[in-house]
Structure 1
Amino acid sequence: MRPIVCIVGRPNVGKSTLFNRIVGRRIAITENKPGVTRDRIYAEAEWLNKYFILIDTGGIEPYSDDTILSQIRRQAEVAIGTADVILFVVDGLDGITASDREIANMLRKSGKKVILVCNKIDTPKTPHEIYEFYELGLGDPIVVSAGQSLGLGDLLDEVVENFPEDKDTEYDEDVIKVAVIGKPNAGKSSLINCILGEERVIVSDIPGTTRDAIDTYFEYQDDKYVFIDTAGIRRKRNIDENIEKYSVIRSLTAIDRSDVCILIIDATQGVTEQDAKIAGHAYERGKALIIAINKWDLIDKSDKTYLEFEKEVRNVLSFVTYAPIVLISAKTGKRVNKVFALIKEVYSSYTKRISTGIFNDILNEAVILNQPPTDKGRRLKIYYGTQVGIKPPKFVIFINDRELSHFSYERYLENQIRQNFGFEGTPIQLEFKEKGD
């Protein structure tokens, strides 16, 4: 297990900015208002060739009874419980607040290593106000400016020195990255909570509760996964708030960095145009895809219900006919275990390699069964083919003339490849080149 470093503090002290600086890219949404980060956001970070998991948390409001703020506080408490090192961020310009004192008391009780981080100090000279933070009893504060990237080296040196010796800090690439995508309120967060068996992601009946793309590292039957819960993707005309615009960008970015996408469709609403657009993003980026029909327990069923729904899915999402369909209820947990089996199956297809010899045997057989098209007396000739990549599988087929290659024959060859090699759940890419290119 990687060392876990957790960033905590009251709202608007720069936690998400610090998180983004350490991981080296903009993952957490940053906005100059409190309460933007709501869930725990995970990302892998590295310093001095030591890899660790960094967690950003929502701002802790110790004295608030608001429902969302209470859930944010609970998410932060769970993160603190799992952390090896805690970065307690305070605003070095504001001085100590009552919330800072209350959070410091909570952290002392945790028994974890706590590093006090005084943020927003943009000048080389340390201001006198910093010394009042010794009152919190958490040792020497480390002065940084997350916005200006000042002091981060000293901070990270202190972080890695406090990693437990039994933690694994080596690089590990054998991780399956799974993005859970779909419209708002389709049940994406509920599915992840059901898989993990805990309230990992804040769940609410209010659409738009999840704002960031949230990474959860998880091991199951010797396989390692990263589940990425994404903010629901709405139609453009329904996006008004700046933060929600950022959420859509994060969702598309989450698709980019995933291997497998699970498209959650709300069974009570049917398959919509927006579902097709979201699936289109995964298709265009060449990602493996699983279609999960959620809330199936709420549907009035007959012996034809599934067949009719499947027909609707295949009609609306005709460009991803390779994607398997699973009927689930994230609320009750019904058939959620099948999701894991499908993830492994489609990931295996996504990374499958076919030897050149076997591929050309199938290619030659396909040509014999259905001769290539002709145009003005000239026939398309297929010389040979080879696989040149995975994620998704990509094949190059060498021919005599690209102008003789027709879309319908290319689709026929793709179908023959799928029929012989499977490739369920993953797109495959065929590139036709003239011999000598």
Structure 2
Amino acid sequence: MQKVILVGKPNVGKSSLFNRLARQRIAITSNVSGTTRDTNKAVVDIEGKECLLIDSGGLDDSSELFRNVKIKTLNEAKNSDAIIYMVDGKFMPDDEDRMMFYELSKLNIPIALVINKVDSKKDETRAWEFINFGVKDLFQISVSHNTGLDELTEWIAKHLKDDVLKADVSDDFDDFLEEFDDEGEFRADENFAEKNIKVGIIGRVNVGKSSLLNALVKDSRAVVSDVAGTTIDPVNEVYEHEGRIYEFVDTAGIRKRGKIEGIERYALNRTEKILEQTDIALLVLDSSEPLTELDERIAGLASKFNLGVIIVLNKWDKSEWEFDELCKEIKDRFKFLAYALIISVSALGGKRVHKLYGLIQEVYQNFTQKIQTSKLNEVVGEATKLHPIPREKGKSVKIYYAVQFGFAPPRIALVMNKPRALHFSYKRYLTNKLRESFSLSGTPVVLIPKNRGESDEDKE
């Protein structure tokens, strides 16, 4: 089985990235340098390709124990198919990292330099100092905020052999086509117009989530208190508004990881399980306070579960922000939620809360909409003419056609001759073109390149 190894000094975030890519908490993570001393391994799926992901011990010469860990790590790296060298973006590059990266580069194994903990513009500026490593493939990420990982996973997939889980990529295209009617439209079994709309209310402690729920359902359904963390169990409320049923869940407020105590740990786990079953997230921010890194991390949960998103700026009566100014700040910091709608409210006084129902309806319609195949292909065709897809190794990369194959959120298959060659930046370009042409505000859009089947060109 192909192997991908995470390498770097202690405490740069290797175990956190390992857990994220494995989609489960396998490796223990902490702020204590050298927590990982042996290698953790897990079989993971990277964009339809299976590989053995290895979380190595940190590269450290401070003791005999850690020198042995380093030797073991380097031996593992020599036998890997791809190397991810991680550094801490909170610090400037150092000679030790530069020399180790250079040594690993001489193995003639694909290697990427991954700068973790890039959480602000200041971090982004510092991260570009690592360009002096002479690296071709450099990625700026924040594992804790779940940003920059799409580009990294695409790089990993690109350097894994195509024959691994190849059937999952082509997906037996005949079976795929069976889901469409004679006019090429996807058969949707669910009638979204009649379903209850499931809305999760998320945010850090004491931002006013419970007050917002009470205002939405016009009842003191949730206990409201100035004591942070009052809500531990999720508060569910089914409410009818203008003939439509809404299922609201006020989730427990989320603290910084180091401040989560006792039963609140279980509350955090339940919050994630709730979001798995949610259509739309109301991300509540306290507009009377500056945005925090924890706000960004919680926003990452909405992105993680591909939810429709409305950002609710609560306590607006106490805010000193200008609305446009705060919206710009949010767009800059929550780039992964650029599609989200934003509204200001004062939940305790009930001001503007009623407008949320119209926004929820709008986002839900976009989240569950069916895009006509002919119009979809017209937009994709115009986009590729305006900005052709870059060639791969001198050969053209073609999108034969596009078709929506899923809902909540919209999932669109791009049927191509070389699906692996479609770069993440081009997918972002296509997504922006789709947003210009269709009503997609408030909802993510999932683009999945698919193989029409092996052609003569592919065999060359």
Normalising by structure 1, what TM-score? 0.58
Cα separation, 1, equivalents of 2:332 and 2:396? 34
The correspondence for 2:353, drawn from 336, 339, 356, is 336
After the TM superposition, which segments of 4 or more aligned residues of structure 1 sit over 6 Å from their partners?
none
Contact 1:260-1:290 at 8 Å conserved across structures: yes
Q: Take 1:264 and 1:364, find their aligned partners in 2: how far apart are those partners?
A: 39
- Residue 280 to residue 435, structure 1, CA distance change in 2 (3 Å): same
Aligned partner of 1:310 among 305, 327, 343? 327
The Cα shift of 1:368 comes to 1.5
For 1:294, give the aligned amino acid: N
Are 1:296 and 2:316 an aligned pair?
A: yes
Q: Which has the larger radius of gyration?
A: 1
Alignment partner of 1:279: what SS?
helix
Q: Tell me if 1:391 matches 2:405.
A: no
Residues 415-437 of structure 1 deviation map (CA, whole Å, 9 limit, x = unaligned):
11111112110111000012217
The answer on whether the counterparts of 1:398 and 1:434 sit within 8 Å (CA) in structure 2 is yes
Count of aligned positions: 262
**One-letter identity of the residue aligned with 2:251:** T
Indicate the residue corresponding to 1:201 in structure 2: 222
Superposed displacement of residue 263, structure 1: 0.2
Bigger Cα displacement from structure 2, 263-272 vs 322-331? 263-272
Letter in 2 for 1:282: A
Aligned-CA RMSD value: 1.5
Select which of 263, 283, 286 maps to 1:266: 286
Is 1:377–2:397 an aligned residue pair? Answer: no
- d(CA) in 1 for partners of 2:436 and 2:245? 30
Contact (CA 8 Å) 2:420, 2:449: kept in 1 or not?
A: no
Q: Any idea what the Cα deviations from partners look like across 1:266-316, whole Å, max 9, x if unmatched?
A: 012222111111111111111110000001100235xxx222211111111
Q: Give the aligned partner of residue 12 of structure 1.
A: none
1:425 aligns to 2:442 (yes or no): yes
Q: Return the alpha-carbon distance in structure 2 between the equivalents of residues 286 and 238 of structure 1.
A: 27
2:271 matched residue in structure 1: 251
- Once residues 389 and 224 of structure 2 are traced to their aligned partners in structure 1, the CA distance between those partners, rounded to angstroms, is 54
SS of structure 2 residue aligned to 1:263: strand
Residues 406-421 of structure 1: matches in 2 within 5 Å? 406-421=423-438
Aligned to 2:231: 210
Counterpart AA for 2:385:
I
Give the Cα separation in 1 of the matches to 2:228 and 2:277: 24
The equivalent of 1:68 in structure 2 is none
**Residue 173 of structure 1: how far off its partner (Å):** 6.3
Tell me, which stretches of 5 or more residues in structure 2 are unaligned?
1-192, 455-460
Q: Please give the secondary structure, in 1, of the residue aligned with 2:354.
A: helix
* Per-residue CA distance 1:395-419 (angstroms, 9 max, x = gap): 0001111342112111111111111
The equivalent of 1:167 in structure 2 is none
**CA distance in structure 1 between the aligned counterparts of 2:292 and 2:333, rounded to whole angstroms:** 8
2:202 corresponds in structure 1 to 181
SS at match of 2:206: coil
Distance 1:402 1:412, change over 3 A: same
Q: In the aligned structure 2, how far is the partner of 1:375 from the partner of 1:249?
A: 43
Q: Is the 8 A contact 2:289 2:319 kept in 1?
A: no
| Residue of structure 1 in register with 2:418 after alignment | 401
Q: Is the 8 A contact 1:352 1:390 kept in 2?
A: yes
Whether contact under 8 Å (1:218, 1:225) holds in the other structure is: yes
| Number of the residue aligned with 1:235 | 256
Q: Distance in 2 between the 1:299 and 1:215 partners?
A: 29
| Structure 1 position 284 matched with structure 2 position 301 | no
**Cα offsets for 1:157-199 (capped at 9, x unmatched):** xxxxxxxxxxxxxxx9610000000001000000111112211
Q: By how many angstroms is 1:341 displaced?
A: 0.8
CA separation in 1, counterparts of 2:299 and 2:397? 33
Paired residues of 2:346 and 2:353 also in contact (CA < 8 A): yes
- SS of 1:216 mapped into structure 2: strand
Structure 2 matches for 1:60-79, cutoff 5 A?
Answer: none
Is 2:240 the counterpart of 1:223?
Answer: no
Distance 1:406 1:392 in 2: 21
Cα contact 2:280–2:310 (8 A) shared by 1: yes
Equivalents in 2 of 1:371, 1:354: separation in Å?
23
Report sequence identity in percent.
40
Shift of 1:213: 1.1
For residues 195 and 433 of structure 1, what CA distance do their matches in structure 2 show? Answer: 42
CA distance in 2, matches of 1:220, 1:409: 41
User: Within 1, Cα distance between the matches of 2:370 and 2:271?
Assistant: 29
Residue identity matched to 1:248: L
Corresponding letter in the other structure for 1:221: E
Contact 1:379–1:404, Cα closer than 8 Å, also in 2: no
TM-score by length of 2: 0.55
Q: Tell me the SS of whatever aligns to 2:246.
A: strand
Aligned-partner Cα distance in 1 for 2:235–2:215: 15
Q: Which of the residues 339, 343, 346 maps onto 2:363?
A: 346
Contact 1:175–1:226, Cα closer than 8 Å, also in 2: yes
C-alpha distance in 1 between matches for 2:369 and 2:416: 24
- Local SS of the residue matching 1:245: helix
- 1:107-122 aligned within 5 A: none
CA distance in 2, matches of 1:393, 1:200: 33
Query: 1:376, CA displacement in angstroms?
Result: 3.2
Paired letter, 2:220: E
SS at match of 1:203: coil
* In 2: Cα distance, 1:211 partner to 1:240 partner: 11
